[in-house]
Structures are given as structure tokens and as C-alpha cells.
Structure 1
Amino acid sequence: MSVLASIENNQIHPDVRRLGRIARRLVPAMNEKFFRRGNWFMNHFAKGHFPKDMHVTEHWVNRSDDTRLRLVVASPLHPKPQATGVLWLHGGGYAMEIPEIDLTYARHIQAVSNAVVVMPDYRRSVETPYPAALDDAYLALKWLSAHHDELGVNAHQLFVAGESAGGGLTAALTLYARDQGKISIAFQMPLYPMLDDRPTASNANNDAPIWNSTSNANAWRLYLGDAYRTDDVSPYAAPARATDYRQLPPTYTFVGTIEPFYQETLTYIQQLQAAGVPAHCDVYEGWFHGVDIVAPKTGIAQKATAAWQAAFKQATKRYFSE
């Protein structure tokens, strides 16, 4: 394995180079304390606050232990029949964030399609490690499938998507749903996904802005618990460990060349393609992790957003489950 050398500032895309330099100075490597503080802030100041120009509701689903999973559901302002049902999984290293933080993605989806976007407030690793997040994601998928009629969703067009850890959870959920054989997923869109707990050429020595090797290792340690740095890790936790990629849904993603997830994303797409799955990855030179979140108005972020919107729109016309 040829390990990536230290990221120089001149390797960062010009659109976000100044921001990248600032982020390197101000954003520390993330650890459990950082994640817990972030969750406290989001729960107190963002949870339950929805944009007035979107139709957003909350629903609750009972878990097997009698606790409840909160779902944030973004429906079209002007609904049409047979909408695409989208399960969107937020990022945050499996340790942080809430659905409200990703409502912009729901807005982008609904700008180009007739879609109902269901966003589960899945359990984070600082509270409960794997498999809690996957269990919640699958419970949300079952809810979406069971309530498709009242939601106005086409039962044969259920998509799963997410960014970062949500992208990794997307890939994990499609593996799990395939193996369970009860719900068919027509398309997946795991954007710059967190897939591999093991060292890769791009995540082993990465000091890019926002998300680096230290943050990545801390997040995986929290998510996997005692299994971290062992071979006893399920592909439902780290999808890069899967050995069978057949019969997974058509896939679109994108990734940046200087972020930790670059190599694992490319490898994942190659594995899908080798298994006969339609899969495509757009690559953005000098993109560090989460550029579309921290700098959405920059040229490179708008280009990436427009590209995935186009891929998503095309998928709504092409992909249906049997």
C-alpha cells in the first residue's frame, strides 16, 4: 500500500483553499468529547427546527426494546402520486449529528424530483455502538416500505442515500437488505462514504481539513468498540469488508482526491462494477471532506451538487425494483 503523503495547501482546490487553511487551524481532530459536545449543541439548537419553506413532519417508530426511533420526513410542497421514497442517512462519523443538519440534501433532491425523504435520527456511537445505527436504518426502511401508500410513495422505487458516515451506512444497509431478502432497494447514493475501518492509501496518513486520519480512527473506534483493529468486523459495519457485491442496487457517488475516503470509495465502486452492478463515481480534484456542506456556494461544490442531482433525477426515471 502506497500511503498518501501529507496534504499541502496547494493541493486544495482553489475555490476552497483559503477555507481549508483556516479549517486546519481552527477545527481540531475530532474525538469523543468533540462528538458529544456537537450532539449537545445540535439537540439544543437545531432539533425540531425546520425550514418554513419545506413541509417537514416528525414520526416515531417503536424499537424492539420499547424505545422509539424519531423520523424526520420531508414531503413535497405540491405532492404528486407515485413519489420516489428516499431514505436519507446523515453523516457525522457514526458518532454525531441529527437529521435536521441534512435537510438541505432533501431540498436538493426535491428540487429535481418528486420525492418523499425520510431521515432517521439513528443512534450514534457515543451512545450505542454498532449495530444500533444499522438496526435503526433498517427499521426506518421497513417503516418507509410499510407506509408507502399513505406517504404517496411508489413501493417499487425505494432509494437509500447519505453522506460520509451516512454514505457508509447506506452501503451497509443495502448489503443487509439484500441478504434479508424482504425489501428491495432500487438505487443507492452513498456520497463520499465512510466504508473501511482498515488503513488505506488515502486514510492512513491524511491531514486534510475538516476530517483527517485522527478523526477517522477515533470515529471507527467508537463505532466498532472492542472489534476495532481486529478482523472480527462485519461488512454490515464496514462495507469495504464485504466479499459479495452481486445483486446490489445501481449506485452513484462522488469523492474528493485529498479526503480520507478517496481510495475506499474508488475500490467500492470497482467491486460493484466487477460484480455487474451499474456504478459510477465522480472525482473532484482537491476536494476535502464535506466541501458541499461547509462551502456550498463555491464553484466546485455547486458543480458536485448539480452532478449528483442529475444522477439522482436520471435514477428516478430508470431504476425500479421488481
Structure 2
Amino acid sequence: MPVTLDPDAALVFKAFQEAGRPAYETLTPAEAREYYRQARFVTNPEPPLLKSVAPLAIHAAKGIIPARIYTPMTLRQSNGLAPSLVFFHGGGWVIGDLDTHDVVCRKLADEGQLIVISVDYRRAPEYKFPAAVDDAIAATAWIADHAPELGIDAGRLCVGGDSAGGNLAAVVAIAARESKSPSIAGQVLVYPATDFAMTHPSHREPETSILLTHTVIRWFRDHYLNVAADADDWRASPARLETLAGLPPAYVLTAGADPLRDEGEEYARRLDQAGVAVTYRTFPGQFHGFFTMGKLLDQANVAARDMGAWLQALK
């Protein structure tokens, strides 16, 4: 479909082009990680003031999973316990970490008036599929089990993430449904990757090849998956699941100039058809990754406020 970038998004894309930004597929994973980490100083907005930000060690069968817990100045509480969002950062399962999404987590804690716990799951290619999935599921279960000591209401625990993190959040919600534990109150899926088939029209449209391209996605896929057959596993491609019924309420966001646009929209539609309460938001003039760029793109701040309002409205 025709895509016209918002004026500010077009300026940001032009600036990236003029800066000679290297394509991730031309870099090693270590180089790509450092490049992504450095970009945050240019794109991240000023963070809101929080009550506290602290490291957290999550104990899992595979070892300690590093995490970070964010408590806002204004916190919704009932009987001394607050709602929470377990957040999984984006980065194609290869790049991204607690620092690249630090400001996003601060904003979500502030806007949602809830505790946010950001999880630093193992990344590929050092740890291939399903290591990130295992860590995401284990971390969410551990947080639910330790909810009272973390000041969290286990009945108001949500999961969320952007891109690869949105994939992990969707998978955690499904895993919780399958095992009937823990209870997940909601899922926030920001331009989520949902199907490694990568055959939706938005993967082929030249207008969507902005920063995240189909070639870069293949680079991420090849680092993350072990063999082609992994793509058929719902833990890699949650859209492959036959039914999405019984999943928690979902907030799904897509961007118009994004190869993942169509699969995110289709996932939201399938959730709705399965009887899941869905709030779908699309930002037609933005590109993949805009959500972390609140210093340059005000639509990122609009999205954070909208997400926060949705989180506050959850029962």
C-alpha cells in the first residue's frame, strides 16, 4: 500500500542516510550492538523523573537473568501492591539491551503509573532459539512468583515489548495460556514480529525499506534460528498457532513504513476474531523503530501516552 512518511520521520530518515549509517547485515553482531547502543544518545528523549530505578537479578534454571526494575513517582496501588509490565527489548534477538530501552521503560512506568521490569534475555547468535524464549518465560514466571516482595500485584501483571520483544511478549502470553500460569492481565505488542515466513506484502514494498529492511530481518533470522524448520514453531512464529482464543487483552501497534506492518495488523485481527479484547493503533507515517525515538519523533511520545492510558484502564 502507498506510504507517505510524516515530515519529521522523513527528516530523520534523510539524516540517517546522509550520516552514512551502515546496514546491520554488513556488521558483526558485536559491531551492530555497539552501533545500536550509541544511537540512543541521538534518538532517545529526556527521561521522566522516577522514584527509583534498580538492578534486579532473576534466578532461572539457566542461571541469572539480568533485569532492571522501574518505579514511577505516581504508582497505582491496591493493598500496597501495584500493576506491572514485564518488558522485552527489541533488536532482532541479536542487538538491544537494558540500556537501549531504558528511556522507553521509564516512560512506560511513568505514563502507566505501574512498575516496569525490563528483562535482558540471552541474545543470538551466541544463544540461538529458543534461548530468548526460555528466558522470557522463566523471567515472567519468577516475577509472578516473587510478586509480593517486588511490590507487584500478581493479578495485574502484563507483558510487552517492541519488535523482537513484541514477539517474545506474544509468546509468553501464549505459553502462560498453555500452562495456565502465570496469570497475564494484558499484552503490549509494539510492531511485533509474528511470522518468520516473511511473505506478507509489506515485506516486499519498497516504501517499507526504511532502517529495518527485509534483508536486515533475514540477517536477524539467520543469527537467531538454528534451522529453517524453527520458523514453523509457534515459539518463533506465534501467528502459526491455530487458535489465539483465551489470550489476554492486547494493545497492538504498527507503523506504516515497516516490513512487519502487515503481520502485526493480521495478528491483531486474528486476536479480535478469536474473541480477545484488542486495541489496535497504527502510525501510518512512521517507520519501524520510531517508538524509541521520542527526541526526534513526537509520535513516539504520543504512542507512549496512549499505551500508558491503555495500561491504566486495564482491570
TM-score (norm 2): 0.87
Amino acid at match of 2:210: P
Which stretch shifts more, 70-79 or 125-134?
Answer: 70-79
Q: Quick one: which of 62, 71, 76 aligns to 2:72?
A: 76
Distance 1:314 1:87 in 2: 17
Change (3 A) 1:52 1:265: closer
Higher alpha-carbon deviation: 261-270 or 306-315: 306-315
Distance 1:226 1:262, change over 3 A: same
The sequence identity of aligned pairs, in percent, is 26
- Structure 2 letter corresponding to 1:242: L
- Equivalence for 1:35: 29
- 1:62 corresponds to which letter in structure 2? H
Aligned mates of 1:52, 1:161 — CA distance in 2: 20
Q: CA RMSD in A?
A: 2.5
User: How far did residue 113 of structure 1 move?
Assistant: 3.5
Inter-partner Cα distance in structure 1 for 2:48 and 2:203: 39
Contact 1:157 1:185 in 2 (8 A): yes
Deviations 1:31-59 (A, max 9, x none): 2834321335678999xxxx894412222
In the TM superposition, 1:290-305 aligns within 5 A as 290-305=289-304
Q: Which amino acid aligns with 1:252?
A: Y
Instruction: Report the CA distance between 1:213 and its aligned residue.
Output: 0.6
CA distance in 2, matches of 1:151, 1:133: 23
Counterpart of 1:57? 54
1:17 partner letter = A
Residues 246 and 272, structure 1, Cα contact 8 Å, conserved in 2: yes
Deviation of residue 306 (structure 1)? Answer: 2.4
- Is contact 1:24-1:210 (8 Å) kept? no
Cα contact 1:168–1:195 (8 A) shared by 2: yes
Matching residue of 1:220: 221
Whole-Å separation in 1 of the counterparts to 2:74 and 2:283: 34
Determine the C-alpha separation between the residues in 1 that align with 2:71 and 2:124: 29
Aligned to 2:249: 250
Matching residue's letter, 1:74? Y
Aligned to 1:201: 201
With 12-21 and 74-83 compared, the bigger mean Cα shift is at 74-83
Say whether the 8 Å CA contact 1:85–1:144 is kept in structure 2: no
| Residue 77 of structure 1: how far off its partner (Å) | 4.4
Task: Name the residue aligned to 2:269.
Answer: 270
Amino acid at match of 2:217: N
Query: Which deviates more, 25-34 or 135-144?
Result: 25-34
Render the CA deviation track for 1:109-133: whole Å, top value 9, x for unaligned: 2223332211111001121111100
- CA gap of 1:218–1:104, structure 2 versus 1, over 3 A, is same
- Given that residues 32 and 218 in structure 1 are in contact (C-alpha distance below 8 angstroms), is that contact kept between their aligned partners in structure 2? no
Contact preservation (8 Å) 2:230, 2:236:
no
Aligned to 1:13: 6
- Give me the whole-angstrom Cα distance separating, in 1, the residues matched to 2:300 and 2:230: 37
CA contact (8 A) 1:75 1:117 kept: yes
Letter in 2 for 1:221: D
What are the residue-to-residue correspondences of 1:85-124 with 2, within 5 Å? 85-124=84-123
Structure 1 residues 147-156 or 71-80, which shifts more? Answer: 71-80
112 and 18 in structure 1: CA distance in 2 versus 1, 3 angstrom threshold: closer
Q: Secondary structure at the match of 1:20?
A: helix
Distance 1:45 1:27, change over 3 A: closer
Structure 1 unaligned residues grouped into runs of 5+? none
237-246 or 112-121, which deviates more: 112-121
Question: How big is the shift at 1:244?
Answer: 1.1
